[in-house]
Amino acid sequence: MCYFLGNAVTRGGSVDFFEQVNKHVRELNASERKIFEYVVRNIDEVKGMQIRTLAARCFVSTTTVMRFTRKLGFSGYREFSEALRLSYHTSQQAELPSVLWKQSYSEEYLKNIIESVRVLTPTKIERFKQALSPDASIYCFGTGLDQELAHFAYHLFTSLGYRASCPLERFEAKAAVERFREGDVALLISMSGEDAVMIELAERMQALHRNAIIATITHSANNTLQSLSSIDFYVFAEHIVYGGEDLSPRVSMMALVELLTYSLMKPSK
């Protein structure tokens, strides 16, 4: 039986909160994104919270919270709260090891991983699986630290029997784009989503093939690369620059790559 909550649909008395809001997250402005991140990190507490309390915790007005809930596809705060209470994820809160309770950054680090996995919805995973047909080639691209992740993805896809490649040099990447054909899949990994090389490759693929399948893994903030993608995956991570190098944690991106490849595994007979 289906129940309708405004624009959201529940089945069997429950609704996947993240499935409902995932398609709207990119539309949030900076203030609304902070509310979203607070909600994700404190679902057990927020699900029973009054709108005034949530507004105070996020240092915004109740009007901003109301606008935030409507942007996510809910008719208002009441429906938003109900979706949180019914969400499967509410009962799946991951507990942090007690040894880290006093390590504020360690706790934040783990929470970012948990958030990133939560927003990887079954719908997006299925879209990726449908796009990657058995006879398709998958090209994994990245630069700097992101190239290490692209190479990791290449190994996993190859192990599953897919025709995968990971061009390491820029000229190799450009040549790979020229070989890219209809039905192939490109996986572009860039933490910032503003890597000039990745953007150039994505634009070239789109110029060659109007329906090019471009999957991206980037930071959750709006960025150029995700706007060029047909399937966009995103992660939460602290932005860390040291000595001019982007050393932001990539473990959440690695988790997404692993989950995507695990979803492609066929059950043993």
Three-state secondary structure readout of 185-231: EEEEECCCCCCHHHHHHHHHHHHHCCCCEEEEEEECCCCHHHHCCCE
For 218, phi and psi rounded to 5 degrees?
-140, 180
201 located within any domain: yes
According to DSSP, the residues that pair with 245 across neighbouring strands are 242
Domain boundary residue among 75, 93, 111?
93
Residues 69 and 133 in one domain: no
Domain ranges, residue 15: 2-93
Vertex 114: Cα angle to 50 and 129 (nearest 5) = 115
176 located within any domain: yes
Residues 151 and 238 in one domain: yes
Which CATH number fits the domain that encloses residue 241?
3.40.50.10490
Residues 12 and 88 in one domain: yes
Q: What is the predicted pLDDT for the residue at 91? A: 43
Residues 168 and 216 in one domain: yes
Which CATH number fits the domain that encloses residue 37?
1.10.10.10
Q: How many domains does the chain have?
A: 2
Q: Which residue has the tokens 């529940």?
A: 10
Residues 157 and 76 in one domain: no
Report the C-alpha gap between 214 and 216 in whole angstroms.
Answer: 7
Residues 36 and 150 in one domain: no
Residues 141 and 75 in one domain: no
111 located within any domain: no
8 located within any domain: yes
> Could you read off the pLDDT tens digit of each residue along the chain, which spans 269 residues?
333 333 444 444 445 677 778 778 778 888 888 898 888 777 778 888 999 999 999 999 999 999 999 998 888 898 888 888 876 444 444 443 333 344 456 777 888 888 888 888 888 899 999 999 888 999 999 999 999 999 999 999 999 999 999 999 999 999 999 999 888 999 999 999 999 999 999 999 999 988 899 999 999 888 899 899 999 999 988 888 877 788 889 999 999 999 999 999 877 65
Residues 152 and 258 in one domain: yes
Q: What is the predicted pLDDT for the residue at 143? A: 94
Residues 74 and 175 in one domain: no
Q: How many CB atoms lie under 10 A from the CB of residue 61?
A: 13
109 located within any domain: no
Indicate the helix (H) or strand (E) that contains 259.
Answer: helix 251-263
Report the C-alpha gap between 54 and 48 in whole angstroms.
Answer: 10
What pTM, to 2 d.p., does this model score? 0.69
Report the C-alpha gap between 132 and 14 in whole angstroms.
Answer: 30
Cβ atoms of residues 145 and 250 within 8 Å: yes
20 located within any domain: yes
Cβ atoms of residues 138 and 179 within 8 Å: no
Residues 70 and 188 in one domain: no
Residues 158 and 247 in one domain: yes
Burial label, 126 (beta-carbon count in 10 A; 0-12, 13-18, 19+)? exposed
In DSSP notation, 43-95 reads HHHHTT--HHHHHHHTTS-HHHHHHHHHHTT-SSHHHHHHHHHH-GGGGGPPP
Q: What is the predicted pLDDT for the residue at 9? A: 41
100 located within any domain: no
107 located within any domain: no
Residues 32 and 143 in one domain: no
Q: What is the predicted pLDDT for the residue at 185? A: 95
Taking alpha carbons only, the member of 177, 232, 230, 224 closest to residue 196 is: 224
Tokens of 161: 């029997």
